Structure 1
Amino acid sequence: MNAQRIVADMRAGIAAGELAYGSRLPSVRDLAEQYGVSQQTASASYAVLSALGLTRTTAGSGTTVAAGPSADAHLGTYAPPDLTAAEAWRPTGPGHEATEETYLVRQLVAPATWTEWGFTEGADVVERHRIRRVGGVPVQHKVTVLPYAVAAARPEGHDGVPPMLAPVGAPPIRPPHGTRVADWLGWSVDRTEAQITAEPMEPSASEALGMQEGSPGFRIVNITRTPEGETLYVTVTTAPLHHRITLDIIG
């Protein structure tokens, strides 16, 4: 028996929901006795699980599960010309409700690091942070960044707060059924470029997902551009590594 077997068992239990998010795991001593291994092997197992972002160890509180059951990080369903059927996140199995919450909306100036996305350093932008949950467990962190002028767009006939500037807690403003958000807001979308990597999470993502800072995760950067090549908006989606990234392209 080695650490690899213990890690495999616990990964399977977490993915299946048998080891619930937030539940406390056995102590190193108890885990060693359970599997008939040394405490050094048991400790190494927890170290691997922590490095994968599946568990979290806190002084005085022991080790707890830091991930929920496996799910699909579904990037969307693309079926021209109607993109309204896109599902941003869906559970892998039945019986888990998917919910979404916007918890931070702010205006700021674009830092130099965002020039690679096509934003001008110092330009006024709007940043929106969302957290998605499956069965009440946080599974996806999403940040949307737009130039202020784009965020301030109002649909025709809409006199209230621009939808992309709606503050936290405001009722969601959605387009009429069958209408894309981009068309509703008058955005001229030409293409979206996707960059998918596996790397340590940004602090805001790991905090929102309830994971230790620096935990590894999927990072999906989507850059949506106009026909002129200007950046319309950027989304940065973070999901734990034990989820899947899926995408449907139809037509």
Structure 2
Amino acid sequence: MTANAIVAEIRRGIAAGEYAYGARLPSVRDLADQHGVSQQTAAAAYAVLSALGLTRTAAGSGTTVAAGPAADAHLGTYAPPELAAAKAWQASSPNSEVSEETYLVRQATAPAEWADWGIPEGAAVVERHRIRRVDGVPVQHKLTVLPYEIAARMPAGHEGIPPMLAPVGAPPVSPPAGTRMADWMGWDVNRTQCQITAEPMDSAAAEALGAPDGGPGFRVVSVAKAADGETLYVTVTTAPLHHRVTMEIIG
């Protein structure tokens, strides 16, 4: 058996749920014995699985599964021009249990690379980090970045902490029924630019997803702009290549 055949077999097992997220896989020696191959071939198979972001190898911990069954991490359903009727992120299977958690909110200084998003280097920003799960397995990391003056805005009639500055653990703040968050916040979004790439995951996304640092992933960057070109907010959604990232636009 070749290394690629071993990789294919383990990939099928992960996709089918036979190897649970976080489960420890056999040692290189045991894997070699199991398939009747050399330890070099077994090690090569694990190297490929790690490069694909499906496993993680750490000293003293061996090789563990870093992905769950393949999931369709749906970004949302949109029906222009009635964007208020859009459906938020969801799993493709109605039998799947989905959850979303904001685990980090912080003020920061924009690095130089964010200038491509229209956020100048050194600008005061607010970062909000979320993790999305399907059946308990992390499938998406979502970073939202807002210039501080945008994040600090208060919706009409709202009292207390500005919604975008609410700390982790605070009760969720939602706009009135039928109102988009952007409209409620008075952001006046004129257009949104999206970039979808496949590239190594950054450290924050990899850690949140339990994947190897720098492992391959989908990266969806959405930059919301006002009519005058001002950047209102940016979302960066990261998902392992093992999953799909989809959206539906109606009309």
The corresponding residue for 1:205 is 205
Q: Report how many aligned residue pairs link the two structures.
A: 250
The corresponding residue for 2:130 is 130
The corresponding residue for 1:19 is 19
Q: Which residues in structure 2 correspond to 1:72-151 (within 5 Å)?
A: 72-80=72-80, 81-90=82-91, 92-151=92-151
Q: How big is the shift at 1:83?
A: 3.8
The corresponding residue for 1:217 is 217
Separation of aligned partners in 2, 1:175 and 1:95: 28
SS of aligned partner of 2:83: coil
Distance 1:77 1:94, change over 3 A: closer
Q: How big is the shift at 1:144?
A: 0.4
Distance 1:27 1:48, change over 3 A: same
1:93-152 alpha-carbon deviations (Å, 9 max, x no partner): 454311111111111222221111001222221111111111112111111001111111
The corresponding residue for 1:250 is 250
Q: Which residues in structure 2 correspond to 1:227-242 (within 5 Å)?
A: 227-242=227-242
1:166-212 alpha-carbon deviations (Å, 9 max, x no partner): 00110110112221111111111111111111111111111111122
Separation of aligned partners in 1, 2:36 and 2:154: 64
Fraction of identical pairs, as percent: 70
SS of aligned partner of 2:40: helix
The corresponding residue for 1:7 is 7
The corresponding residue for 1:183 is 183
SS of aligned partner of 2:24: coil
Distance 1:168 1:84, change over 3 A: farther
What is the TM-score of this pair, normalised by structure 2?
0.95
Counterpart residue type for residue 36 of structure 1 = G
Separation of aligned partners in 1, 2:223 and 2:51: 29
Separation of aligned partners in 1, 2:83 and 2:200: 35
What is the TM-score of this pair, normalised by structure 1?
0.95
The corresponding residue for 2:57 is 57
Separation of aligned partners in 2, 1:250 and 1:26: 47
Regions of 4+ moved over 6 Å: none
- Structure 1: segments with no counterpart, 5+ residues: none
Distance 1:133 1:144, change over 3 A: same
Separation of aligned partners in 1, 2:13 and 2:84: 36
**Conserved? CA contact 1:77–1:83, under 8 Å:** no
Task: State yes or no: 1:34 paired with 2:53.
Answer: no
**Conserved? CA contact 1:4–1:45, under 8 Å:** yes
Q: How big is the shift at 1:52?
A: 0.7
Q: How big is the shift at 1:153?
A: 1.7
Separation of aligned partners in 1, 2:241 and 2:170: 32
